[in-house]
A and B are shown apart, each in its own frame.
Chain A
Amino acid sequence: MIRQSLLVVNNLGLHARAAAKLVRLASSFASEIYLSREDASQQIDSKSILGVLMLAAKKGTRLVVSVEGHDEAEAVEAIRRLFESRFGEEM
Chain B
Amino acid sequence: MPDHGSLRVREFVTDTSLGLDLEILQSKGLDNEIRSPRIQKLGMALAGFTTYIHPDRIQIVGSSELNYLKELTPDGRTSAIQRLKRFRICCIVVTKGLDPPKELAEFCARQEIPILRTRALSSLSTSKMTRWLENRLAPRATVHGVLVEVFGLGVLIIGPSGIGKSECALELILRGHRLVTDDSVEITRRGLDRLLGTGGKILRHHMELRGLGIINIKDIFGISATAVFQPVDFAVRLERWNSEVEYDRLGIDQSTMELLGVPIPLIVMPVAPGRNLAALVEVAARIHMLRQRGYNPAKELEELT
- Listed in ascending order, the chain A residues whose CB lies under 8 Å from chain B are 16, 27, 42-45, 47-51, 53-54, 56
Contacts and interface: CB of A to CB of B under 8 A. Distances in A.
Interface in B165-208: 182-184, 200, 202-203, 206-208
Nearest to A26: B161
Contact of B184 (A16, A27, A54, A56): A54
A81 B208 CA distance: 26
B154 to A, nearest CB: 19
Nearest to B145: A45
Interface of B: 142, 144, 161-162, 182-184, 200, 202-203, 206-208, 214
A53 B230 CA distance: 23
Contact of B202 (A45, A47, A56): A56
10 tightest CB-CB pairs across the interface, nearest first? A47-B161, A50-B183, A45-B144, A49-B208, A48-B183, A50-B203, A42-B142, A54-B203, A50-B208, A54-B200
A48 B206 contact: no
B162 A51 contact: no
Given A45-B184, A48-B161, A48-B183, 15 more contacts: A16-B214, A27-B162, A43-B142, A44-B142, A45-B144, A45-B161, A47-B161, A47-B162, A48-B208, A50-B183, A50-B184, A50-B206, A53-B203, A54-B202, A54-B203
Query: Max chain B CB contacts within 10 Å: which of A43, A50, A51, A53?
Result: A50
Contacts of A45: 144, 161, 183-184
